[in-house]
Chains A and B, each alone.
Chain A
């Protein structure tokens, strides 16, 4: 008899190797589960607490000391005002900056310095932007902004989302193939004509997706807004950019920090509204991205 093994069954040494592989696989799985399970429990908790309080009057009433009559009207209006202004301010600035960096700036030390700075700014804690906003927009530019106003908040939040928006727009612009630019220049188009007719239109779905995702990160920001003095209790909606305001996240913070259990339910209900806003923005972004997905 030969001593050679002809069976393809795993030899003992391979069985041991396999076992170690399995252990690692389950470790990774449990790491994933920690995150997912926690999130699901939190969501379930919020839903159980808040769903019953999502009545029509919840959307049409101002905050009140009497929980049954309290609503998020001012916070909802404030959030929409803030996000709208923020989009109007940050979108043109961010896209223009990205176009300059990608299409116009000469590759060199200046461009590298600016690029590094933008990447770093994207990681600065939001409270720092709050301090900046307080000093610049609320105090220094008070004749223009009216102090603790919705425009001050929008400018502050714009600073916060700008780096993210610029980076996302740059990526979208970079994804436009060089062959399209060559074709355009080859026909005698100027740089502006090439950017205007080819680069921007083809990058726009990506830019819009990036903008929405950046804004959806900003919609839950609380710290910088508290810093610049958004009010925690107001019973009116802003009529213009220079009016005072509150937003959903501050309203939630305010309710959640009260002792009475009813206010906890109100906070949960407001969280649901905020999450719905956030999820629909993300859904819009995904839809935009898929609709315009193009194979070059």
Chain B
């Protein structure tokens, strides 16, 4: 039995109930039940291939885009199952945003990158304000305010990733899912992202996948340790890294394997 000592006390941003994901015959997530508290940072850690990305992609139905993936169980968002028949995945993804491992700006101007999301739903009259606000939130505004029409591919890797965060924020999601957002970046750029996460959590719920233990320890309130598709332990970040209840967790966080 997993050790789960995180409860949202009715304040869950997301709640999973026995979520399972299969890719063909390979079961990648083997029944995970957990709560993600609101306006907190939750880190998902575990060895490569344990299913962190797969679980994260369940939270905004990105797995729908993988033809071989089949999801069962429930993911509750405001008490509503994301996988219920009447739910539209497009709306889900607007409310629950995602930042990917490799920065993936569109080959368009910086402005158009951020404006793309808001424009999907019409022609917001205050688009300039939305773009500026999102870029400020992503701590990128000062670096790009004079070159809004330059191609986003001309930015540095760290800037590109913050642009992707700004782009995700521009559609005002409630939850931000981040899959190793800093793994392609140098330590300075990655420190900036961490700082950013700590600011964003005032307004957003953040779930972050990371391979970097120190990073998980620094930015998250709670940490979930996954191993081969199962949730082994989910607790305060502090407890996970200093006094985990499971031997397996301890071995992993102290670097004895994985």
Contacts and interface: CB of A to CB of B under 8 A. Distances in A.
Chains A and B belong together in one complex: yes
Interface of A: 106-107, 177, 179-190, 193, 197-198, 202, 294
B31 interface: no
A153 to B, nearest CB: 39
A145 B171 CA distance: 51
B104 A188 contact: no
B120 A187 contact: yes
Nearest to A176: B107
A92 to B, nearest CB: 24
B116 A187 contact: yes
A188 B102 contact: no
Contacts, number: 62
Contacts of B105: 183
B60 to A, nearest CB: 7
A106 B98 contact: no
A198 B106 contact: yes
A185 B120 contact: no
B116 A106 contact: no
Contact of B106 (A106, A183, A188, A294): A183
Of listed B95, B102, B104, B168, residue having the most chain A CB within 10 A: B104
A186 B90 contact: no
B217 to A, nearest CB: 27
A187 B107 contact: no
Contact of A187 (B65, B67, B94): B94
A237 B65 CA distance: 53
B229 interface: no
Contact of B104 (A106, A179, A189, A193): A179
A184 B60 CA distance: 13
B117 interface: yes
A190 B90 contact: yes
A192 B94 CA distance: 16
Given A179-B100, A193-B120, A197-B116, A186 B62 contact: yes
10 contacts: A180-B104, A181-B65, A183-B104, A183-B164, A184-B106, A184-B116, A185-B62, A188-B95, A189-B90, A190-B90
Given A177-B104, A187-B167, A188-B120, 20 more contacts: A179-B104, A180-B106, A181-B65, A183-B164, A184-B106, A184-B116, A185-B62, A185-B90, A186-B62, A186-B93, A186-B100, A187-B93, A187-B97, A187-B116, A187-B168, A188-B94, A188-B117, A189-B116, A190-B120, A197-B116
Given A179-B100, A179-B102, A186 B107 contact: no
A194 to B, nearest CB: 10
B91 interface: yes
A182 B65 contact: yes
B208 to A, nearest CB: 15
* Top 5 closest pairs, chain A to chain B, by CB: A188-B94, A179-B104, A187-B117, A186-B98, A188-B93
A197 B106 CA distance: 10
